[in-house]
Amino acid sequence: MLFSTVTSLLASYLAVRLHDSAPTPEPAQPPPLQFELRHLHAVSPDARVVFHDVHKSNVDTLNTTGEPSTYALHPRRIKAQRPRSLDAFNHARVRSMRFQETEAIDWDEIEVEGPDVESRQTLLLLAKMTNNAYLEPGETGWYELGDQWNVGYPVGWEPDDDGFRGHVFATPDNSTVVLSIKGTSAAFIGGGGPTAKKDKFNDNLLFSCCCARVDWTWTTVCGCYRGGWKCDQNCLEEALTEESLFYPIGTNLYNNLTYLYPESNIWMVGHSLGGALASLLGITFGAPTVAIESPGEKMAASRLHLPSPPEVQHITHLYHTADPIAMGTCNGVLSSCALGGYAMESKCHIGKSIVYDTVSNLSWAVDIRTHTIVNVIEKLLADPWPPSLEVGREVPEAKPEEACVECYSWDFGEYQPGTK
């Protein structure tokens, strides 16, 4: 009797221990999302956001380029911080600009589906979609995105010739919308085109230390330089709020998009200037964002007086160490950026960054020509990354940038014109 009792108790104890030590099953991965091109967006000469609908009757299938026939873009659950009230957000921003006073606002932490930034294939698709935002419908250079993306172009569309443009993709049930924003069209890095002038103006205002004042030979993009290494901070901040600039146009675009898709979860994606603008909008509206090869946008966010949420893990940057623009090293009078007329002096990014060390692992030289989105697609994301595979990952781990300093030589303050 005693033996059977002891045996029964021992069996029960072992069963409990084995149950407790059993590995917890991994949560099921959400099914891939299928997107289709819905709209092309641009800006009219009078700064109005305009959309061109992509009707199925007017869509031509792009020629295949040897890419696989299907793609799976996997989402994942992420936490994002959104202002509880956009009115309160804007009020705090205006108070900071006018009175240099910080006003606390309430933030809601929400859990939403965002792009799986740990998936190489997902990042590859987003990069391809971002590349296509540079091109006009029918222009050579489009990437075929496969059956997971219904990609085409409407007949007869002509984009605005002077600035902000891109594409809007959506799932068939409109549950998720992706807004892609074109980056800088610069001839000296393989681009160019009708938007180059406006792109350069925004680059030089958003990412230079003081109005693109590189040396005495430069024509500045705003009148805030006060001699020596002095720059009028208030003047800079006022220059960034002009309605003709990309950030206010971007907020208008986002508001228009939420009017069209009031119940949708919106993702942001962009390359270079487009990536920085996507990040700024991601901070403003709490939208999951992937910014590819973006110049540092943290300084611009500060000058725009954007209230900072408690966490910014929904913002993800992707770049490599041979890209001098994303690394913040394309500056100085003799830099390739300066020779092209660009004062790219910022380096600090918001959120977390996926950094491919192409200098150490691939022996790439630091070169402005590596900044193109095509380079990211064909040489970074097209094939597995060996250093990540060695540690059981598909891409480098996204990490926040620590102890980042920029424009340390400049003295920013309240300086009147003529101050020396």
Q: Which residues are catalytic?
A: 272
Please state the separation of Cα 357 from the chain's center in Å. Answer: 19
Residue 112: which residues within 8 A CB-CB, separation 6 or more? Answer: 77, 78, 80, 265, 288
- From 184, 191, 227, 176, select the one nearest 207 (Cα to Cα): 184
Contact call for residues 309 and 81 (beta carbons, < 8 A): yes
- Please state, in angstroms and rounded to a whole number, the distance separating the CA atoms of residues 274 and 232: 27
- Please state, in angstroms and rounded to a whole number, the distance separating the CA atoms of residues 10 and 16: 10
